[in-house]
Amino acid sequence: MTRDLTITDVRLTPILVADPPLLNTQGVHQPYTPRLIVEIVTADGVTGVGETYGDTKYLELARPFAERLRGRRADDLNGLFTLADEVAVDASRVENAVDVGGLRGVQTADKLRLSVVSAFEVACLDALGKALGLPVHALLGGKVRDAVEYSAYLFYKWADHPEGVEREPDDWGAALDPAGVVAQAAQFKERYGFTSFKLKGGVFPPEQEIAAVRALAEAFPGHPLRLDPNGAWSVPTSLAVAEELADVLEYLEDPALGTAAMAEVAAGTEVPLATNMCVTTFAEIEEAFTRGAVQVVLSDHHYWGGLRNTQQLAAVCRTFGVAVSMHSNTHLGISLAAMTHVAATVPDLHHACDSHYPWQSEDVLTERLTFTGGKVTVPDAPGLGVELDRDRLAFLHRRWLDDDGALKDRDDAAAMRVADPGWVTPSVPRW
Ligand SMILES: O=C([O-])C(=O)C[C@H](O)[C@@H](O)C(=O)[O-]
Ligand SMILES: [Mg+2]
């Protein structure tokens, strides 16, 4: 049987998906957040899907990239990276050293390109898998586990978005103190069976967040716990928190901003440090590893450039005795499937990955992925093993089209200003 893997069509569909009022150090999530759904179609009529960030700066790159992709082959995965180099990045998009909106570390033109490439790589792998009758994990060398463990991703949260703001209701309630955080964790455990918990910190003064983690440790003895203030603390504050929580933390995630500060913290504590902010590109690895700044690198396959780059990151980490796992940003089922396929192929994955997925009440799939016992079963169907729901996609795209521009770019500080007009993004360190 011959297959024609030539890419004949590429579809880009920006969407807005409902997001609850989750708090972080920069503000609060907007009621709707942008994502980009990528579809590639081969000459044989096979469609592959991918997903990535949907803010304007990603769309601006995805469009010329998609133009160049037509006529190339879905199995030319390496070619995606050379193609990406041909697409110019508007310098104003990377002029800020840190991507404050996304809490994703240093922003560079390459990282923007890789975040776009990742969606096309996943779409190509999905199409290739469907064409060959193989799951994506098989294309990545084969799974070494049948299910991937995720941790509950706890957030301080308002009961609802501010009055007068259009939004979808959610049934999680508020979580603004230790009791609220424990109640949220209990819901996560009951609904999805998660056995490890990550709390997004940097929202309240550290004593309050220490109290919340202590309350979690008491309510869920023996469950791995993490706290992630997204670099909001000074080195002395980070060290003080590490000392307070040393007996209950699996790791502390990005307590202070940047490799130098993380190295100082690491030198003063036995608590392992994890990051999705100071090691976000291959170029940042050498300094961080040689300075012993981090003990766990949390990949986000979007900004690392896809699933095969994530495997390469895992190999580099293994070489240096640094652990690897995954963090996430707001995402839908296509990305959860992609994360699950690649995580299934990483031999030494010793920490549960984290996922925002339970916070997303909307999706573009005919069937949502499910967590059982805190795990997602690795799909064995061809490709990613997910199916696009075109009506849902059209509905969420319509919402994007109807938006006047206020929500097309994630801006947690702007969302906070709706409730607190005087709010400015806190300077770092905040405490
Ligand atoms: O682990 C992390 O740093 C994240 O998940 C980054 C996200 O942007 C998170 O802070 C959020 O969604 O507010
Ligand atoms: Mg983090």
The tally of domains found in the chain comes to 2
Residues 253 and 276 in one domain: yes
Provide mean pLDDT across the span 20-36: 98
Q: What is the pLDDT of residues 139-161, one digit of tens each?
A: 999 999 999 999 999 999 999 99
Dihedral sign for Cα atoms in the order 275, 276, 278, 283: positive
Whether residues 283 and 394 fall in one domain: no
Residue 200 Cβ inside 6 Å of ligand 1? The answer reads yes
Residue 342's Cα: distance from chain center in Å?
Answer: 14
- The pLDDT of residue 96: 54
Closest CA to 358 of 397, 386, 331, 388: 331
Q: Is 327 in the pocket of ligand 1 (CB under 6 A)?
A: yes
How much is the pTM? 0.97
**pLDDT: is 111 or 229 the higher one?**
229
| Per-residue pLDDT reduced to its tens digit, 45-70 | 999 999 999 999 999 999 999 999 99
Which atom of ligand 1 is found nearest the CA of 24? 13
| Alpha carbons 46 and 62: distance in angstroms, whole number | 21
pLDDT, tens digit, 9 for 90 and up, residues 394-415: 999 999 999 999 999 999 999 9
pLDDT tier at 100, thresholds 50, 70, 90? very low
Mean pLDDT value of segment 343-365: 97
C-alpha to C-alpha distance for 139 and 346, rounded to whole angstroms: 13
Nearest CA to ligand 1 atom 9: 329
Residue 124 lies in a domain: yes
| Element (DSSP H or E) covering residue 53 | strand 47-53
Q: At 1, is the pLDDT very low, low, confident or very high (cuts 50, 70, 90)? A: low
Distance 420 CA to ligand 2 centre (A): 25
Q: Could you tell me what percent of the chain has a pLDDT over 70?
A: 97
Residues 156 and 271 in one domain: yes
- Closest ligand 1 atom number to CA of residue 198: 1
Closest CA to 70 of 43, 102, 109: 43
Site to substitute for ligand 1 among 26, 228, 273, most atoms within 8 A of C-beta: 228
pLDDT computed for residue 118 by the predictor? 98
Tell me, using a 6 A CB cutoff, whether residue 24 lines ligand 1. yes
Q: H-helix or E-strand containing 37?
A: strand 32-42
Residue 231 inside a domain? The answer is yes
282 and 190, same domain (yes or no): yes
Is 137 annotated as catalytic? no
Mean pLDDT, residues 176-205:
98
Query: Do 240 and 124 lie in a common domain?
Result: no
Amino acid at position 211, single letter: A
Q: What is the mean pLDDT of residues 295-312?
A: 97
Cβ count within 10 A of residue 393: 19
Place of tokens 């995606």: 80
The ligand with the least distance to the CA atom of 151 is: 1
In this structure, the answer to whether residues 153 and 293 fall within a common structural domain is yes
pLDDT in tens, 5-16: 999 999 999 999
pLDDT score of 110 = 85
Is residue 130 located within the same domain as residue 172? no
The amino acid at residue 65 is F
CB of 423 closer than 8 Å to CB of 411: no
CATH of the domain at 316: 3.20.20.120
Does residue 323 fall inside a structural domain? yes
Q: Dump the DSSP string for 164-196.
A: T------SS--B-SHHHHHHHHHHHHHHH----
Confidence of residue 282 (pLDDT cuts 50, 70, 90): very high
Residue 291 lies in a domain: yes
Place of tokens 């969407």: 15
Mean pLDDT of the chain: 95
Q: Catalytic residue, from 57, 130, 157, 200: name it.
A: 200
For 400, the enclosing helix (H) or strand (E) is helix 390-402
Please compute the mean of the pLDDT values over residues 112-123 and round it to a whole number. Answer: 96
Å from CA of 280 to ligand 1 middle: 13
pLDDT at 104: 66
Residue 126's CATH number? 3.30.390.10
375 Cβ closer than 6 Å to some ligand 1 atom: no
| Ligand 2: centre distance to CA 26 (Å) | 13
276 lines ligand 1 (CB under 6 A): yes
Which positions make up the binding site for substrate?
A: 29, 108, 153, 198, 228-230, 276, 327-329, 356, 410
ipTM > 0.85 for the complex: yes
pLDDT at 220 over 90: yes
Q: How many CA atoms lie within 13 A of 42 on its CB side?
A: 23
Instruction: Tell me if 302 is assigned to some domain.
Output: yes
- pLDDT at res. 97: 44
Looking at the fold, whether 234 and 338 belong to one and the same domain comes out as yes
Write out the DSSP string of 63-107.
HHHHHHHTTSBTT-HHHHHHHHHTS---GGGG-SSB-TTTT-SB-
Average the pLDDT over 358-368 and give the result.
98
| 12 Cα to the center of ligand 1, angstroms | 25
269 and 141 in a common domain = yes
426 occurs within a structural domain? no
- The model's pLDDT over 186-196, given as tens digits with 9 standing for 90+, comes to 999 999 999 99
Burial of 12 (0-12, 13-18, 19+ CB in 10 A): middle
Q: Do 33 and 108 have their domain in common?
A: yes
User: Does residue 135 contact residue 127 with C-beta atoms inside 8 Å?
Assistant: no
220 and 269 housed in the same domain: yes
The three-state secondary structure class of 113 is: helix
pLDDT at 99 > cutoff 70: no
Residue 411 falls within a domain, yes or no?
Answer: no
Q: 329 CB less than 6 Å from ligand 1?
A: yes
Question: Are both 305 and 242 inside the same structural domain?
Answer: yes
Name the pLDDT band for 180 (thresholds 50, 70, 90).
Answer: very high
Question: Is there a domain that residue 431 lies in?
Answer: no
Give residue 95's pLDDT: 58
- What HEC string does 114-133 produce? HHHHHHHHHHHHHHHHHHHC
Give catalytic status of residue 301 as yes or no.
Answer: no
Q: Look up the domain containing 110 and give its range.
A: 7-134+389-402
Q: Which of 327, 341, 351, 408 is catalytic?
A: 327
pLDDT recorded at residue 281: 94
Q: At 53, list the tokens.
A: 């960030």
Whether the per-residue pLDDT at 206 is higher than 90: the answer is yes
